[in-house]
């Protein structure tokens, strides 16, 4: 169904009644963007100005709304029309003026397959300058995507200095902002603060590895801090692989306005007449049932609409990095493959170090850019390894870092102009001994595409590609972009990356792609559209991972989160942990192994085999079910707990972790969520440490009521211990 409203001229009475269910005054109108439980409503006033009037619980009737005076600023505030708060748009017009004053022109809405698409056309009062606001309402998941296009028909180019994806207004007594911060090997830590008057921004200016220090995601509690299962909260994320900025301004009227989009920092962007500037999508959801429901909305929406092959169950990976690093040959890898296969692993992924001949990649100092297999290490090529891996019943995956180049490489020697520099007279800065290729250049995009295309063409049986990126933009100079477009580099880099992603997705629909950037530097929905999963962190210490995964699952689904069992003592932190604890923490996402399995003791190998088998049995619940956060690792009592429930509620998995010493404390009751009310579940402890009795209910049938309202006692007294229970509905 499509309905078009153009200054009230083309609209018929019957259509009005059909769409809005009431008769509107001649010059004012309501635009209702909705999902099953949420409404985002705009009002066009008599002066044809567009204002948001509501975002929150779905209104069953909008009758009378038209009479309310909106409390919020214009829906897409622009600079120069009297507005003194943050703006979404600043444009320097062809005549040099900075004023833009946008008015409603028309809008249309369509509804297809549970997705309502709304386009609102705005135009400047005096100039041929146009802004379209787009909103997609995903009915079932209560998620809205918002983005904007900007174009003009002025005589010469227009320079855009601000170009947000969306602006959203909130009205509450207090605002509490939960967001994510970190560093390399400590990503997605949670912090929450009450917003005071002024502006709080979440942003990055790194260009690549954009999500390592902050993530373009948030949860904004209204009135008081939302709990997991109660309170009002808006959660969202910007789908963009470049610089981002999310600004939250609390003003003198106690309103909070969020303006989110590409970070305009040093990014003025010039558009010629008729050229369209399109912003990335802001994804958001509202829940009045607490934070957990907001996370479930985002997870299930992503699996259906934004994560590549979100409905497909993911295989178990063995990644060679922490087991072998750069030091391997065919014999070493074959030994790892043998034991990986015997454990039940499904894909063997060869990480960094397999390429470069003139400049062999034996450490991070050489070889990046020279994507030919190193003949000394792998005399039978990748093909020899694939044959062996497949012979052992597994698939083969490979690591690449195609955007990067070591100065010590044939590529750098031959293609200096492809490297992002700092002008001619300044020395370019290296990070991890490497430079960055200029993806704003279509030739470089072709090169990056061809790196992967050639590898996959030569080895069509490769099933999985890990795409890494281990530096930021940092230098700022493109030999491709003209002098007056140098400030486009931040944005064009991200566009170039997306072009390559798109082409690969189109031409390789059946390969699995992992996005990695020194760990969690590309954990965002822009990349996830084209990738199946991300590597959340190079910190694989299970104690640390409990926190990293806890933060990550606020916004991103467990199926996309690669969680690997690595060595003890851990290579980053030196902490020793049991194999069970490492497995139990890695069970919370897409399970993988990242150690030398051939070096495990028999006892550990046996445990690993059983654990991998158990994961296969329960992975559909973990990868496709709903996740509930029960006990936060951030609380003082030294536990963390989550449970997963399958869509049909027939199966559930409870995971409990202790990360402190609990003396003889007996009060550690864990209450579950999401089970079918009135149902009875049979309990089975999995990944059991032989001889240890952690619960008294193993093998027993227990009602959902008890799990939800009474809770069960788990015997975890020591730090770094854990428990996993599988619940199967018996009636």
Please compute, for residue 554, the number of CA atoms within 13 A of its CA located in the half-sphere on the CB side.
30
Q: How far is the CB of 445 from ligand DGJ (least distance, A)?
A: 22
User: Minimum Å distance from CB 373 to ligand DGJ?
Assistant: 17
For 541, which DSSP code?
A: -
Residue 447 CB, nearest approach to ligand DGJ (Å): 20
Torsion of CA 536, 586, 501, 352, to 10 degrees: 80
In the complex, least distance from residue 516 CB atom to ligand DGJ, rounded to whole angstroms: 5
Nearer to ligand DGJ, 240 or 534 (CB): 534
Least Cα distance to 586 among 318, 347, 366, 323 occurs for 318
Residue with smaller CB distance to ligand DGJ, 518 or 668? 518
Which residue, 355 or 501, is less far from ligand DGJ as judged by CB? Answer: 355
- Residue pointed to by tokens 């995507």: 145
For the bound state, the minimum distance from the C-beta of residue 326 to ligand DGJ, rounded and expressed in Å, comes to 8
The C-alpha atoms of residue 604 and residue 278 are separated, in whole angstroms, by 53
Task: Output phi, psi for 700, to 5 deg.
Answer: -95, 160
Say how far apart CA 682 and CA 697 lie, in whole Å: 9
Q: Of 43 and 582, which CB lies nearer to ligand DGJ in the complex structure?
A: 582
Q: Which is nearer to ligand DGJ, 187 or 584 (CB)?
A: 187
Max CA pair span of the chain = 81
Nearer to ligand DGJ, 297 or 470 (CB): 470
Q: How far apart are CA 504 and CA 485, in angstroms?
A: 27
Min dist. Cβ of residue 342 to ligand DGJ (A): 24
Task: Write out the two tokens for 442.
Answer: 């279509």
Which is closer to ligand DGJ, CB of 571 or CB of 682?
A: 571
Distance of closest approach, residue 517 Cβ to ligand DGJ, in angstroms: 7
- Which residue's CB is nearer to ligand DGJ, number 134 or number 399? 399
Map tokens 């074959």 to a residue.
Answer: 334
Question: Cα 561 from chain centroid?
Answer: 9
Measured from the CB of residue 372, what is the shortest distance to ligand DGJ in angstroms? Answer: 18
Contact 704, 677 (CB under 8 A): yes
Whether the bond into 569 is cis, omega within 30 of 0: yes
Q: Which is nearer to ligand DGJ, 149 or 474 (CB)?
A: 474
- Contact at 8 Å (CB) between 708 and 652? no
Residue number with CB closer to ligand DGJ (562 or 656)? 562
CB closer to ligand DGJ out of 296 and 317: 317
Secondary structure (3-state) at 450: helix
Element (H, E) at 548: helix 542-552
Using CA atoms, how far apart are residues 717 and 99, in angstroms rounded to an integer? 65
Alpha helices in 286-329 (DSSP H): 291-301, 321-324
Contact footprint for ligand DGJ (CB under 6 A):
321, 351-352, 399, 468, 470, 516, 518-519, 535, 538
Comparing CB distances to ligand DGJ, the nearer of 41 and 517 is 517
* 429 neighbors 423 (Cβ within 8 angstroms): no
CB of 534 to ligand DGJ, least distance (A): 10
Residues 285 and 142 sit within 8 Å (Cβ to Cβ): yes
**Among 354, 396, 398, which Cα is nearest to 376's?**
354
Shortest Cβ 464–ligand DGJ spacing (Å): 13
Closest CA to 547 of 640, 468, 409: 640
Task: Name which of 107 and 408 has its Cβ closer to ligand DGJ.
Answer: 408
Name 12's Cβ contacts closer than 8 Å, sequence gap at least 6: none
Shortest Å, Cβ 548 to ligand DGJ? 13
Of residues 469 and 494, the one with the C-beta less far from ligand DGJ:
469
Q: Considering the complex, what minimum distance in angstroms separates the CB of residue 334 from ligand DGJ?
A: 21
As separate numbers, helices (DSSP H) first and strands (DSSP E) second, the chain gives: 13, 38
From the list 540, 546, 601, 596, the residue with the least C-alpha distance to 565 is: 540
Nearest-approach distance from CB 399 to ligand DGJ, in angstroms: 6
Closest-by-Cβ residue to ligand DGJ is 352
CA-CA distances (angstroms) from residue 562 to 69, 265, 319, 515, 535? 48, 32, 11, 10, 5
Residues 6+ apart with CB under 8 A from 33: 39, 40, 41, 42, 116, 118, 135, 137, 144
The answer to whether the CB of 630 falls within 8 A of the CB of 670 is: yes
Instruction: Quote the least distance from Cβ 535 to ligand DGJ, whole Å.
Output: 5
């Amino acid at each position: 169904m499509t309905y078009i409203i153009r200054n009230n001229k083309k609209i018929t009475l019957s259509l009005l009644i059909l769409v809005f269910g009431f008769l509107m005054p001649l010059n004012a109108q309501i635009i209702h963007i909705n999902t099953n439980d949420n409404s985002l409503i705009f009002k066009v006033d008599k002066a044809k100005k567009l204002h948001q009037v509501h975002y929150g619980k779905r209104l069953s009737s909008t009758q009378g709304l038209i009479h309310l005076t909106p409390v919020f600023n214009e829906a897409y505030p622009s600079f120069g029309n009297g507005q003194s708060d943050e703006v979404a748009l600043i444009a320097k017009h062809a005549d040099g003026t900075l004023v833009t004053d946008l008015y409603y022109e028309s809008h249309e809405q369509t509804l297809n397959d549970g997705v309502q698409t709304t386009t609102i056309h705005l135009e400047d009062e005096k100039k041929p300058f146009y802004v379209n606001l787009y909103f997609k309402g995903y009915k079932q998941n209560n998620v809205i995507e918002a983005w904007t296009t900007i174009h003009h028909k002025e005589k010469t180019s227009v320079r855009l200095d601000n170009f947000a994806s969306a602006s959203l207004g909130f009205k509450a007594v207090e605002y509490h902002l939960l967001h994510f911060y970190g560093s390399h090997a400590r990503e997605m830590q949670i912090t929450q603060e009450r917003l005071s008057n002024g502006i709080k921004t979440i942003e990055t200016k790194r260009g690549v590895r954009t999500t390592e220090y902050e993530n373009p995601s948030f949860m904004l509690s209204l009135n008081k801090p939302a709990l997991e299962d109660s309170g009002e909260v808006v959660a969202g994320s910007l789908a963009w692989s470049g610089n981002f900025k999310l600004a939250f301004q609390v003003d003198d009227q106690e309103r909070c306005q969020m303006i989110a989009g590409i970070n305009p920092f040093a990014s003025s962007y010039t558009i010629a007449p008729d050229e369209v500037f399109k912003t990335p999508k802001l994804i958001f959801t509202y829940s009045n049932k607490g934070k957990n429901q907001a996370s479930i909305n985002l997870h299930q929406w992503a699996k259906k609409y934004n994560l590549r092959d979100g409905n497909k169950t993911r295989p178990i990976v063995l990644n060679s990095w922490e087991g072998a690093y750069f030091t391997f040959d065919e014999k070493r890898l074959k030994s790892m493959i043998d034991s990986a296969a015997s454990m039940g692993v499904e894909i063997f992924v060869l990480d960094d170090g397999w390429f470069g001949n003139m400049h062999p990649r034996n450490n991070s100092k050489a070889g990046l850019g020279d994507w030919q297999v190193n003949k000394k290490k792998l005399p039978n090529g990748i093909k020899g390894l694939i044959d062996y891996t497949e012979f052992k019943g597994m698939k083969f995956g490979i690591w690449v870092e195609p955007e990067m180049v070591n100065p010590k490489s044939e590529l750098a020697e031959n293609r200096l102009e492809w490297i992002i520099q700092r002008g001619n007279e300044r020395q370019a800065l290296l990070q991890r001994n490497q430079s960055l290729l200029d993806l704003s250049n279509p030739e470089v995009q072709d090169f990056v595409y061809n790196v992967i295309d050639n590898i996959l063409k030569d080895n069509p049986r490769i099933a999985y590609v890990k795409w890494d990126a281990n530096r930021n933009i940092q230098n700022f100079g493109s030999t491709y972009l003209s002098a007056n477009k140098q400030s486009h580099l931040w944005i064009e880099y991200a566009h170039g990356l997306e072009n390559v992603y798109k082409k690969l997705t189109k031409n390789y629909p059946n390969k699995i792609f992992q996005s990695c950037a020194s760990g969690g530097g590309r954990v965002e929905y822009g990349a996830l559209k084209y990738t199946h999963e991300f590597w959340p962190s190079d910190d694989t210490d299970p104690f640390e991972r409990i926190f990293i995964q806890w933060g990550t699952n606020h916004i991103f689904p467990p199926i996309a989160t690669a969680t690997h069992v690595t060595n003890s003592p851990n290579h980053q932190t030196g902490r020793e942990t049991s194999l069970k604890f490492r497995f139990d923490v890695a069970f919370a996402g897409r399970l993988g192994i990242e150690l030398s399995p051939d070096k495990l003791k028999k006892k550990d190998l046996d445990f690993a085999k059983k654990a991998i088998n158990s994961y296969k049995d329960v992975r559909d619940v973990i990868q496709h079910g709903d996740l509930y956060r029960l006990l936060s690792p951030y609380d003082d009592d030294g536990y963390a707990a989550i449970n997963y429930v399958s869509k049909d509620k027939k199966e559930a998995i409870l995971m409990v972790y202790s990360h402190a010493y609990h003396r003889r404390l007996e009060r550690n009751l864990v209450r579950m969520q999401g089970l079918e009310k009135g149902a009875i579940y049979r309990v089975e402890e999995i990944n059991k440490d032989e001889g240890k009795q952690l619960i008294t209910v193993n093998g027993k049938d227990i009602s959902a009521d008890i799990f939800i309202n009474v809770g069960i006692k788990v015997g975890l007294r020591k730090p770094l211990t854990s428990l996993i229970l599988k619940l199967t509905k018996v009636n």
